[in-house]
A and B are shown apart, each in its own frame.
Chain A
Amino acid sequence: MTKGILRRGIWLLLILPGVLFVAVFMLIPLFSILFSTFSSEGAFTLDNYGRLIQSVYFQQVFGRSVRLSLLSTALCTLLGFPCAYYISRYSKRKGMMMALAVFPMFTSPVIRSFSWMVILGRKGIVNQLLVDVGLFARPQSLLYNEFSMTVGFVQLFLPQMILSLLGVMDSIPEDLTEAAGNLGATRFVAFLRIVFPLSVSGLVTGAVLVFTGCMTAYTTPQLLGATDTQVLSTMVYQYAMSLRDWVQASAVAMVMILVTMLVSGIFNRLSRKINPMAA
């Protein structure tokens, strides 16, 4: 009898440790934080969010996060698309090109941000070039501003864009473009009417990865940004660790979750809908 119950309930024993682990250490704390942002001395309130949204500082930080993430996503798309197209169609060393995209991805974001500190600093190679060419009268720091943050973001997340585009482009049969060519389409038209529409789902997946990555990255804005170029993630850290304002830190954290979930939810659904190969 007990053996029968054990046998029927074995799935429960197998999933329970993991479910409890995630629930106790993440989900319950997450909901506790969520409730804490809506309560003040036991009563329901929207004050914490009201205060946040009305704060000019938060508006600036939020705006900067969204702006830099959008800009970086656009740049990753512009740079990643031709790259992925070239690698999937013309490159003879596809494996090598993929490995070269994976290598920076596996390298610590701290090191990648640090490399830009070396390159864009006052004594860095970019400054030397600009002074030599005559664009700068004397070396000036290109670091700790939105420019250096964007450069860091693009370098950080571009491999993801290239890889997710490669994923879909590789599944487009070569015959399709050849057939279009045989039917009289120029390569450009074939690209526009066949390759591009079939790549959109990879593009959307990549864009979601880049956008949410930029919205939540901490290392890059911390190392390549400054106190006057805070983003949401550095704001959470600052409120929690320097100002010890747990309530505002929690509210900002909830805003981050909301934005990333909304964006990835909407666009992943979209990408599934528009992928003709999936259907």
Chain B
Amino acid sequence: MRKKHHIALGVVTFLVYVFLIGPLLIIMAASFGEQNALVFPGKGFTLKWYAQVFQMSSFINAALLSLEIAFAATAIALLLGVPAAYALNRYRFPGKNTVKTIFLSPVLIPCIVLGFIMLRYVVNQWNLSVIPSLLIGHTLLSVPYVMRVITSSLANFDFAMEEAAGSLGAPRGYAFFHIVLPNIKSGIASACVMAVINSFNNVSLSTFLTAPGVNMLPIEIMGYVEYHFDPTIAALATVMMLVTLGVMLLIEKTLGLQTVV
């Protein structure tokens, strides 16, 4: 009896995982097909779609822009978030909860609404060009991640160590960079990973802020698949998934996947 229900659960789990992962494997398989139309199972084996992806400058440029924005926005979010998280954990002051809520608030607003709000009241009113608007928008996306992760790693940090450094004569800045920061570096790393991935994959916010010619990768792909249906996108998707796998392996080796999700 016990065995049976165990097996039934196993079968359900297997089927659910097929549903989760199967479509992605099908895309990977279809990227090697020789036909011009995207079909699975395909015929033959070719790498020509991969060659084509790397020749399409629109995808390459969009990928580079997406990466640049993701890293730059995360860096700015760190500059804004780490000092604030430090202050929230280290000092006593009124309105702490409000401050924390402000830093976490971008995650409470649906991205599609955030994009619309920014377009109407920031970009249009200040005549911002595409790059600064994307940078500001994606920084807003990253700030809550940074805040959440860094506050919880600082909660485990013993501030007596910093005080000890101070009483031994270390200036405040020195103590922060040599005592506090090294102790929360894995928290910073996992915040960065999550923020960069989230920013790189974002569609709803960017869709309001990009312009023809200056596009982020997911938006470029969305535009492409609405009119074309060939294995180029499957090849590009496979490249992106391999990068994701690489990132996941790296996280598992360094931080442990459990710490980021």
Query: What residues of chain A have their CB less than 8 Å away from a CB belonging to chain B?
Result: 10-12, 14-15, 17-19, 21-23, 25-30, 32-33, 79-80, 82-83, 85-87, 90-91, 95, 97-112, 114-119, 121, 123-125, 154-155, 158-159, 162-163, 187, 212, 215-219, 222-223, 233, 236-237, 240-241, 246, 249-250, 253, 256-257, 260-261, 264
With known contacts A82-B12, A106-B247, A30–B109 Cβ distance under 8 A? yes
| Contact assessment for A115 and B23 in the assembled complex, using a CB-CB cutoff below 8 Å | yes
Task: Jot down 27 A-B pairs with beta carbons below 8 A, ordered by A.
Answer: A14-B84, A14-B87, A15-B83, A18-B84, A19-B84, A21-B143, A22-B106, A25-B122, A26-B106, A29-B117, A29-B121, A82-B16, A83-B17, A98-B261, A103-B245, A103-B248, A110-B203, A112-B24, A115-B27, A125-B26, A212-B110, A218-B204, A233-B204, A240-B208, A246-B120, A250-B120, A257-B110
| Contact assessment for B140 and A223 in the assembled complex, using a CB-CB cutoff below 8 Å | no
With A18-B80, A116-B23 known, 11 other A-B pairs at CB within 8 A are: A12-B93, A22-B102, A103-B241, A103-B245, A107-B240, A123-B37, A125-B26, A159-B20, A218-B111, A233-B110, A240-B119
Of B3-11, B48-56, B177-185, which binds chain A?
B3-11
Q: In the complex, A155→B108 CA distance in Å?
A: 22
Q: In the complex, A230→B86 CA distance in Å?
A: 44
Beta-carbon contacts under 8 Å, B203-261 to A:
203-204, 207-208, 218, 221-222, 225-226, 229, 233-234, 237, 240-241, 244-245, 247-248, 252, 257-258, 261
Give the nearest-CB partner of B88 in chain A.
A15
Q: Would you give the 0/1 interface string for B54-69, flagging 1 where the beta carbon is closer than 8 Å to chain A?
A: 0000000000000000
Which chain A positions have C-beta within 8 A of B130? none
Cβ 8 A contact of B21, one of A14, A104, A217, A261 = A104
| Contact assessment for A102 and B113 in the assembled complex, using a CB-CB cutoff below 8 Å | no
Q: In the complex, A123→B30 CA distance in Å?
A: 13
Cβ 8 A contact of A256, one of B113, B207, B258 = B113
| Contact assessment for A216 and B233 in the assembled complex, using a CB-CB cutoff below 8 Å | no
How many A-B contacts if CB must be within 8 Å? 246
Q: Does B139 contact A (CB under 8 A)?
A: yes
| Contact assessment for B143 and A22 in the assembled complex, using a CB-CB cutoff below 8 Å | yes
Task: Tell me, rounded to whole Å, the shortest Cβ–Cβ distance linking B65 to chain A.
Answer: 15
| Contact assessment for B240 and A108 in the assembled complex, using a CB-CB cutoff below 8 Å | yes
- Looking at A26, A95, A117, the one whose CB has the most chain B CB atoms below 10 A away is A26
With known contacts A107-B24, A110-B203, A237-B112, A26–B140 Cβ distance under 8 A? yes
Task: Tell me, rounded to whole Å, the shortest Cβ–Cβ distance linking B78 to chain A.
Answer: 10
Q: Does B201 contact A (CB under 8 A)?
A: yes
| Contact assessment for B80 and A110 in the assembled complex, using a CB-CB cutoff below 8 Å | no
Query: What residues of chain B have their CB less than 8 Å away from a CB belonging to chain A?
Result: 2, 5-6, 9-10, 12-13, 16-17, 19-21, 23-24, 26-27, 30, 37-41, 79-81, 83-84, 86-88, 90-91, 93, 99, 102-103, 105-106, 108-114, 116-122, 136-137, 139-140, 143, 197, 200-201, 203-204, 207-208, 218, 221-222, 225-226, 229, 233-234, 237, 240-241, 244-245, 247-248, 252, 257-258, 261
Cβ 8 A contact of A22, one of B19, B140, B226 = B140
Q: Interface on chain B toward A: helix, strand, loop, or mixed SS? A: helix
Which chain A positions have C-beta within 8 A of B83? 14-15, 17-18
Q: In the complex, A262→B36 CA distance in Å?
A: 48
| Contact assessment for A223 and B225 in the assembled complex, using a CB-CB cutoff below 8 Å | yes
Task: Tell me, rounded to whole Å, the shortest Cβ–Cβ distance linking B209 to chain A.
Answer: 11
Give the nearest-CB partner of B147 in chain A.
A18
Q: In the complex, A90→B4 CA distance in Å?
A: 13
| Contact assessment for B16 and A79 in the assembled complex, using a CB-CB cutoff below 8 Å | yes
Which chain A positions have C-beta within 8 A of B27? 111, 114-115, 118
Q: In the complex, A271→B108 CA distance in Å?
A: 18
- Looking at B16, B105, B201, B233, the one whose CB has the most chain A CB atoms below 10 A away is B16
| Contact assessment for B88 and A103 in the assembled complex, using a CB-CB cutoff below 8 Å | no
With known contacts A82-B9, A117-B225, A110–B257 Cβ distance under 8 A? no
